[in-house]
Amino acid sequence: MTHKIVFLDRESVDANVRAPNFPHDYVEYQSTWTPDEIVERLKDADIALINKVPMRADVLKQLPKLKLIAVAATGTDVVDKAQAKAQGVTISNIRGYAFNTVPEHVIGLIFALRRAIVPYANSVKRGDWNKSQQFCYFDYPIYDVAGSTLGIVGYGALGKSIGKRAEALGMKILPYDVFPQDGLVDFETVLTQSDVITIHVPLTPDTKNMFGAEQFRKMKNSAILINTARGGLVDEPALLEALKSGEIGGAGFDVVAQEPPKDGNILCDADLPNLIVTPHVAWASKQAMQILADQLIDNVENFVAGKPTNVVE
């Protein structure tokens, strides 16, 4: 049997994607977004490779030949899981590939925000240093990373990896998770005692907007919020207001609610010295992307061999 494999958003994975080890026809598209495009391109496929292409119920119902959706990411919120299950479509994802790249991005954001690196660098470009009466100036507060407290919301593999790095830098960690394990604190403690909070939970109906106005009021005025998980976890208008009012000290975001933000986004458009937004690249070191690409094809090969791996229920 020859399998028909279609990669709908190949440009989202900047790595070598090897050919599977079984008879197949392979087609790739650099990007695919509209429902009509998705259906047309997958109409004869039994295996779909996607990263962020939305596979909603109305689309899946038009694809009776589809047997596997291999997601080139850990998060699978782009797939309607209930409809996939109803049609007997298996979903696989990528796990354990971002053990360096995401933690390093988080640590980078912590340093950049705690030490006000970006606003000071921008102020030099504006000529502020040229006009200074002294050899330096203190327009933006600088806080040490060592001795500060890091709250980790979501203490799985990534959370633990970040925690180890933070402790090596002299930070105290306050881990929180809904799954019981030793050493956890409650969410309230994370909010009230952390100097930095980093989020590492999936986006579900229960976690949507888990950070909003109520949570920001409980945080320290100097606290920083880091989000490299999913944009929908944070109420963006409430965050922007908290940043502008000084209710919290800063934010570093690698994700926003709608990606790409083709119609604009209030965080991307804001010009604030205490806000850094990067374009969902925390996962994207060269090394991590190659691990991801290899595991993506591993998942496909294992599915065809009758031993599916990394199955998402």
Q: Which positions are annotated as active-site residues?
A: 230, 259, 280
DSSP of 208-247: TT-BSHHHHHHS-TT-EEEE-S-GGGB-HHHHHHHHHHTS
62: alpha, beta or left? (left if phi > 0; alpha if psi -120 to 50): alpha
Q: Tell me which residue has tokens 């925390």.
A: 282
96: alpha, beta or left? (left if phi > 0; alpha if psi -120 to 50): left
- Say how far residue 79 (Cα) sits from the centre of its chain: 16
CA distances from 118 to 110, 112, 115, 126, 277 (A): 12, 6, 9, 12, 11
What is the rounded CA–CA span in Å between residue 31 and residue 103?
Answer: 28
- CB of 198 within 8 A of CB of 176? no
Q: Which of helix, strand or coil describes residue 88?
A: coil
Q: How many CB atoms lie within 10 A of CB 23?
A: 9
What is the rounded CA–CA span in Å between residue 199 and residue 212?
Answer: 13
